[in-house]
Structure formats: C-alpha cells, structure tokens
Structure 1
Amino acid sequence: MDSVDLQVLKAAAAWSRKGYQATLCTITRTWGSAPRPVGAMMLIRDDGVVVGSVSGGCIEDDLIARVKDGKLGLLKPEVTSYGVSADEARRFGLPCGGTLQLVMEPIAACPWVDDILGLLDQGRAASRTLDLETGAVTVAAGAAHALCEFDERTLTSTYGPRYRLLIIGAGQLSQYLAQVAQGLDYQVIVCDPREEYTQEWALPGVELTRDMPDDVVVALKLDANCAVVAL
C-alpha cells in the first residue's frame, strides 16, 4: 500500500509514459477549516481520471470539469484559490468558510519523479522545488518530514522518508498489526524464520523475510524513522 503522495507521483510517471497530459494540484495555503493539509496533492488526467485529493470532493469536481472541458489550458504553473468569499465556500462545500490556495501545474514529461522515488527507495527524504515562472523542477535530498513551503515564486515539497515497521514473528496478531500499520502508511517488513508461520502468509504489500531477526535488523540499518515490534 502506497501513501497518497506516492500514488500521485507514480501515476504522474505512468501517465507520462503513456503520453497523457495531466494537471498536478498542490495545496499551498489554507485559511479557516480545510479537509486536507498544506502539501496535499491531486493529479488530474486530461480525460478526467484523478488520483489524490485536495478537499472533501466538491473542489475536485470543479477542477475535473475544468480539465475535461479544456478551460484550464495551462502553459505554466498558476496559482488559484477556492472559497475566498462566503458564497464560494458554500458553493464548493468548504466547511466553516475555509479557503484553499492551490498551485496548478501542467504535467507532461516528468523525469523528476524517478529521482524522487529513487531517494525514497534509499530511505531518504526528497525535496522537489518548482519555479512558477519557468515551470522548471529540481529534486534534491531533503530534510525529513519538512513542511511544504511557498513564497509565490517557488514551491518546495518534501516527500518522506517513509516510516518503517519491522515485525518479528508472523503469527495471527502480526497480520492484524501489519494491516493497521499499512493504513498509517508504514512500510511493513515481517521477519520469521519458521516456515510453519510464513508458508501461508498472504498479506499484500508486506515484505516477508525468513532470515534471522538479528540479521534483518542489521541489514535494514534501522534509524529514527523505524520501529520494531516482537510478537
């Protein structure tokens, strides 16, 4: 199971390879009550298919309609706001008169996604900086769990590193714990050298290893973003 951010990034790469055009929407500021935090992303394909979310649904519907109707026609990144007035807040279903500011970015070729995924695979944070004037994107190693930053000219988003959970023991309780951890976006590794416990393990998205626990701990190079549970 991937986080929403990873789902959006992987969709951007996959759609680009297939020749689709898409629009990447990122929340840069919120005022009042907002269902999704700053940095949340949504990717809209030119035929209206969507991955991710920036609100409870009403703003998504409007953005999808604008993309499908060709009303955006973005040539470079632009800033837009939803819910500036009380009437707009009611129209788009923003609770408590909330307001969202979005950066909308046209996506075609996006080789930078592979750079981000490569850093995440190494257990590192990836920082992506977008220049709104030129549309240029740069990717570098970033500070872990840094906040999204926007200064009207550049947007810097940080992804990862992903939290990891090593579960020692592949019993029934471990399966329940693994499912909960996946729902919280942990990368889950289950370690149990006993074939009797691992032979019928069938939880998708969980890495299963039959190596000895001490060897696994050393190999994973556990850090502050990791947790170990022995069951």
Structure 2
Amino acid sequence: MEELPHIAVVDDHQEIRQLLVRYLGQHGYAVSEAASAQEFRNQLDAGLCPHLVVLDIMMPHEDGLSLCRHLRATSSLPVIFLTAMAEDTDRIVGLELGADDYLVKPFNPRELLARIRAVLRRSNNPQAQEDNTPKTERLRFGDKIFDLTRHEVTGSDGVAVPLSTSEFRLLCVFLEHPGKVLSRDALLELTSGREADVWDRSIDNQVSRLRRKVEEDPKNPVLIKTYWGDGYCFTGKVSPA
C-alpha cells in the first residue's frame, strides 16, 4: 500500500492543530501534530519523518524561526510558515532562513492545502507529483558544480554547500533559463506555483540567499544579475559536469 504524504503541524494553538489534522486527513494526508518546537524535536529524534512541516512562528519558549533554523541546518524538510498579520519582519526573516512559503493567519484551509501541494510538487520528495528539474544529475557553471541529486553546490575548493528546498528550485529555474531575464512573478510561479501579492518580496530574499552560496562576492554578483524593474538573469554558462 502506497505511503500517504505526511504533514507535521507545529502550533501551540490546539484548535488550529485539530482543524488541520482533520482537514488535511480528509484530503489524503497523514498528519502528526506538536504543540511546541521541543515536542517536534522529540518526535524527530524518535524517528518521525514528515514530508513537510506547517510551522507557526509565534510559540512560547522556542519560536518557529529558531526551529526553522535548526531544520535548515540538519535537513531539507520543506517548511510553510503560519504567521500573524503583524509579523511582517518575522515573515521576511523566515523566508531568509529558507522557508518555502508562508500563509497569514487567519487563513483558509483550502489555500494552505494548495500551498502544501505546490511545495510538495517542487520538492525532492517521494510523494512529489511531478519533477521539473533538469534531467542531468550534475551541472557546471563557472567554477561550481551543482549536484541535483544531493542538492548541493561545490566550488573550486572542494567544499560542498547544501541548498535548501527553495534555493534548489530557484537555482534549477535559473539554470534552465540562462541569459533570460525572469520577472519576480515568473520566478515565484516557476518555483512555488503561486502569484505574488503587492508586498511579496520572497523571491528577492531567496535570490539573496542563493547569491551567498554561488557568488564569489554576493554584494557584487556576476552570475545572478539584477535588472531593476524587470527581474533577475542568470548570466553564467551552463554545461553538464
């Protein structure tokens, strides 16, 4: 019997956890819940292996940002943040840490379901419904080797730098469209399957993080160029490695 995709819900509000356990369960997902970051850490230590985590930012003791930082240092588990409207700064920090998406409370469970499906489609996940990544397992650009299987970039010094799920998807899109200026809206659609709202700066944050991992000087990028008012363009030469 095929394993159901597993969603972990980490939120200190019991009613939200119960709502999502019931709703996501009705739509074909296995769902586990944790009332705190520590409880979720304990579950992971005990062998829990979710395909995606829905993570509240504001929780007592350890908040969602701290937990996301831990997850990014130890795994490529996709993360969708739940945030309050007033937490704009925390939302931006969460995206900079490598979260794949966010949803503002109060939220419509149907919209969260759509975000979950979009993230899983684009993640390196056994339950993914499609694979939009290049077919070659290793690509070269400049002095970097991009390993699509291991989700990491290796420089001339031989040091492998792991990529988060969102960084991996963004680099794939750039390498599939070298020399083409891609708007923020196009990049968001290609990487996350959704449209940007007027305040959405998540692509800018993702580009900034990716530059820190592939550029020699992220403040003066030569591979991922900014075209003000138009978007971004990958200028490097791409070839199989």
Q: Normalising TM by the smaller chain, what interval?
A: under 0.3
What is the TM-score with the length of structure 1 in the denominator?
0.25
TM-score, length of structure 2 as denominator length:
0.25
Which protein has the bigger helix share? 2
- Structure with larger Rg: 1
